[in-house]
Amino acid sequence: MTNSYLSHAISELKISGGGLRKFIDTRWTSAYECTSSVCRLERAFIKVHIFINSLIKYKYIIIKYYNI
């Protein structure tokens, strides 16, 4: 589910270069690509973080309001 939020944020922010690259222990190149993708997608991660926090706050308000 979070991956779809990230994909949406990447396309909305028009970030090129694909999604998050996974790290493979045996290759330095993959470590570089993983780190590079995290840096490139920083704005998308922030956008997803803000969205998830707003969902949590909204759920808290609903629970508090209805005493669930």
Question: Of the candidates 21, 15, 22, 4, which has an alpha carbon nearest to the alpha carbon of residue 43?
Answer: 15
pLDDT at 23: 60
pLDDT at 46: 92
pLDDT at 68: 60
Average pLDDT per block of 10 residues along the chain, 68 residues long: 75 81 67 84 91 84 73
User: C-alpha angle 34/35/41, rounded to 5°?
Assistant: 90
